[in-house]
Amino acid sequence: MAGRPSQRLRGKITPGEVNLLPVMNLIAILLPVLLMSVAFVKFTIIKIQLPEVTSAKEVTQEDVSPTPEPDPNKPSLTVIVRQDGFQFLSNINPPAELKEQVAAMHELIELSEEKDLEGKSVLVDGRPYKTYDYQALNERLIQFKELQWPLTDKPETMFVPFENVPNINIYPMPEIKYEVIIGVLDAARTYPQADKYLFPTPILVGRIYTGELGKAER
């Protein structure tokens, strides 16, 4: 003999509604708390490095240059932020066949004209509006980072001068605005091809060395 159908099958017990009121109470309390602490604007920090001398003890302007004297054995690269663009200085000494390419890498990156959505130049007071080309700066710094040539005594080994160099000197001219400096710092650190920083700790300098090493130029 077949078993007696259950009460549920006979339709005596109907599935009840889930009581959502406690959940609603909880959400009603959580919502204002979270709304109070929500961050619509997010902040970030950029760690910068100063030349060693500025964190030393009492010094005067006369007896100190804020830029440490570069070691001629270590590759160094300086980006001068001028009002007309970015200029590059380095102490690398490439072989003769690369001299032309390296010289081209030191050429000034001029300001670029701002374009609108249709590709036309944006005009301000009848003149094209020009801004700093951070993209070009980043690409140029990547070129420096990836520059390599074979060693003279071991031609099978490639010498990559900036491979393990963590910092570059950034020298903004006195009239350069803070927002441009932040843009340059971003460009100096971004390395899209690799999952790491390009030059992790850029150094902001006040004076630079040009030409002969050891001679400071303000």
Partner 1 sequence: MAFAASKRKRITLHRRPPQLLKITSLVDLMTILLCFLLQAYSYTEFRVLPSQDIHLPTSINTKYPVESIQLVVSKSAVLVEGKLVTRVVSVEGDQGEPVYDIEEVDKKNTLLIPKLKAELTRQANIIRNARETTGRSGDFSGTVTIQAHDQIPYRLLVKILFTTGQSEFGDIRFMAYRRD
| Binding site residues, partner 1, CB under 8 A | 17, 20-21, 23-24, 27, 30-31, 34-35, 37-48, 50, 54-55, 58-61, 66, 172-179, 181-183, 185-186, 189-190, 204, 206
CB of 51 to partner 1, least distance (A): 9
100, 149 Cβ separation under 8 angstroms = no
What would the two tokens of residue 55 be?
């964190």
Query: What per-residue string of b and e applies to 52-62 under the rule 16 or more CB within 10 Å gives b?
Result: eeeeeeeeeee
CB of 94 to partner 1, least distance (A): 31
Distances (CA, A) of 102 to 42, 63, 173, 202: 40, 35, 24, 21
Beta carbon nearer to partner 1, 1 or 20: 20
CB of 80 to partner 1, least distance (A): 12
CB of 199 to partner 1, least distance (A): 13
Closest-CA residue to 168 (of 143, 147, 198): 198
Beta carbon nearer to partner 1, 9 or 21: 21
Beta carbon nearer to partner 1, 104 or 182: 182
Beta carbon nearer to partner 1, 26 or 122: 26
Beta carbon nearer to partner 1, 27 or 122: 27
CB atoms within 10 A of CB 107: 12
182, 170 Cβ separation under 8 angstroms = no
CB of 95 to partner 1, least distance (A): 36
Beta carbon nearer to partner 1, 173 or 213: 173
CB of 85 to partner 1, least distance (A): 16
48, 185 Cβ separation under 8 angstroms = yes
- Amino acid present at 203: I
Closest-CA residue to 68 (of 202, 189, 209): 209
